[in-house]
Amino acid sequence: MAHDAGGSGPPRDTADSQLFPRWATLAARLGLVSLVGVPAILLGLLMALQYTPYVTGQTLVRNQPVPFSHEHHVGGLGLDCRYCHGSVEKTRFAGLPPTHTCMTCHSQLWTNAAVLEPVRRSLAEGKPIRWRRVNALPDYVYFDHSIHIAKGVGCTTCHGPVDRMPLMRQAAPLTMGWCLDCHRQPEAHLRPENEIFAGHWTPPPDQRERGRELIRHYLIRTEHLTDCSICHR
């Protein structure tokens, strides 16, 4: 135990003859701070991560069995969305063109282009083309294309300027928050009927006013739009 070194004259001890070196103090303080700080920062990053394309899949492009270019067909040839996505006005599901639809043109054009081989095979073998889904929602979300079309939400509002997409890309984060933003104030995005299928559409300067006008026009009950039961069943 402690020994009392009594003696003549005041004994002198040097500051370094002790348990911890000088730097230990700084280390301990940093340690204490990081003990709290590091987990906090990690959590913060984790939260931030949720907003990144890494999680939401925004801007994500997928390779397709057939490198179908909306840019060419919509932007170039000016096909109407509904030519291929036939049920977009009728049902929940926008619909994908049956192989038959592709062949209406491609039985004449590019009849032996290599890229179209899968299409021809599909028709020949009666096997569907396996497209890879780009805009995917979780299965507990019941999104209905037809009602959005009917109430003045244009295709590009969610799908982005497809007429400039060589390969289909997920334009929006498709998070619940993103849906809510529009469901909370639709006026920012509503369009008149004739512009719904417009290839790319930029809101006019007085969109707010027009939007409110359109809400009345389409008889949209905004208060109901944030009900859970609107999307979840």
Partner 1 sequence: MSGSALREPPLPPGASYGELIGVVADPVLERGTGRPWRIAFAVTLLMTLGLGICIAWLFIQGVGIWGINTPVVWGFAIANFVWWLGIGHAGTLISALLLITRQHWRASINRFAEAMTLFAAVIAGLFPILHLGRPYRFYWLVPYPNTMEVWPQWRSALVWDFAAISTYIIFSLLFWYWGLIPDLATMRDRARSRAARYAYGVLSMGWRGSARHWHRHDALYRAMAALAVPLVVSVHSVVGMDFAASLMPGWQETIFPPYFVIGAMFSGFAMVVTLAILLRRGLGLEKVITPRHFDAMAKIVLAGSVAMAISYTTEWFTGWYGGERAELTHLGHLFTGAYAPIYYGMLACNVLIPQVFWLRAARRNLVTLFLVTILINIGMWLERILIIWNTLSHGHLPSMWHLFYPTFWDWATLLCSIGLFTFLFLVFVRIFPAVAMHDLNKRLYQEKEERA
Partner 2 sequence: MSLPCLLLAEFRDPETLLDAARRVREAGFKGLDAHTPFPVEGLAEALGFRPTRIRPAMLVGGLLSGAFAYWLQWYSAVLDYPINSGGRPLHSWPVFLVPTFEATVLGATLTGIVAFLISTGLPRLHHPAFAARGFERASQDRFFLSVADPHVDAARLAALLDGLGPLSLREVRGE
Partner 3 sequence: MSAGSVLSRRQAALGLLAAAISGGLSGCGEPEEEILPYVEQPERLVPGAGLRFATTLALEGYGRGVICASAEGRPIKIEGNPGHPASLGATDVFAEAEILGLYDPDRSRTIRQAGRPVTWQEFLAALLPRLEALEARGGEGLRLLTGPITSPTLLRLIAAARGRFPGLVWHAHAPIGEANARRGAELAFGRPVSMLSRLDRAAVVLALDADPLGPGPDQIRNGHAFAERRLARAGRTEFMRLYAVEPATTLTGANADHRLRVPPAMLRDVALALAAALGAPVPRPELAAKQARFVEAAAEDLRAHHGAALVLAGESLAPELHALVHWINERLAAPVEAIAPVFPAGAEGPMPLAALVEDMRAGRVDTLFILGGANPAYDAPADIDFLNACKQVRFAVHHGLHRDETAALCDWHLPAPHALEEWGDLRATDGTASLVQPLIRPLYATRATAELLGLLQGRLDLSAHAAVRETWAEGRTPEEFEVWWRRTLHEGIVEGSAAPRFDPPEPRLPQVPPAPAADGLVLVLRPDASVWDGRFANNAWLQECPRPLTRQVWGNAALIAPEEAEARGLNQGDVVRLEVGGRSLEVAVMPEPGIAPGVVALSLGYGRRRVGAIGEGVGVNAYVLRTTDTPWTVPGVALTPLGRRAPPVLAQEEQRLEGEARELLPVIPLEEVLRAAGDASRSEPPPTFYPEFAYETYAWAMVIDTTLCIGCNACVIACQSENNIPVVGPEEVEWGRDMHWLRIDTYRQEIDGEPHPGFQPVPCMHCEKAPCEPVCPVAASVHDQEGLNVQVYNRCIGTRFCQSNCPYKVRRFNFFGYADGQEYKNLGEPVVAAHFNPEVTVRARGVMEKCTYCVQRISAARREAKKENRPIAEGEVVTACQSACPTSAILFGDLNKADSLPSRLRQEPHHYKLLGHLGTQPRTTYLKRVRNPNPALEGDAA
By the criterion CB under 8 A, which residues form the site for partner 1? Answer: 1-2, 19-20, 25, 28, 32, 47, 50-51, 55-56, 173, 175-178, 180
| Count of C-beta atoms within a 10 Å radius of residue 114 | 7
Burial class (CB in 10 A: 0-12, 13-18, 19+), 87: middle
Q: What residues numbered 137-166 form the site for partner 3, per CB under 8 A?
A: 137-140, 142, 144, 146-147, 150-151
Residues 214-233, one symbol each (x = binds partner 2 by CB under 8 A, - = not), give: ------------x-x-----
| Count of C-beta atoms within a 10 Å radius of residue 90 | 13
- Complex with partner 1: residue 106 or 183, whichever CB lies closer: 183
Interface with partner 2 (CB under 8 A), residue from 8, 19, 47, 124: 19
The one of partner 2, partner 1, partner 3, none whose footprint includes residue 66, by CB under 5 to 8 A per kind, is none
The one of partner 1, partner 3, partner 2, none whose footprint includes residue 177, by CB under 5 to 8 A per kind, is partner 1
Interface with partner 2 (CB under 8 A), residue from 8, 17, 63, 194: 17
Interface with partner 2 (CB under 8 A), residue from 8, 12, 108, 114: 12
CA distance 197 to 74: 11
CA distance 157 to 201: 8
* Residues 119, 66 contacting (CB under 8 angstroms): yes
Single out the residue of 161, 168, 165, 172 nearest to residue 200, CA to CA: 161
- Complex with partner 3: residue 96 or 167, whichever CB lies closer: 96
Determine which helix (DSSP H) or strand (DSSP E) holds 122, and give its type and residue range: helix 117-125
CA distance 25 to 171: 52
Structure tokens at 5: 């070194």
Q: Interface residues with partner 3 (CB under 8 A)?
A: 55, 57, 62, 86-87, 90-93, 95-100, 122-123, 126-133, 136-140, 142, 144, 146-147, 150-151, 218-219, 221, 223-224, 227-230, 232-233
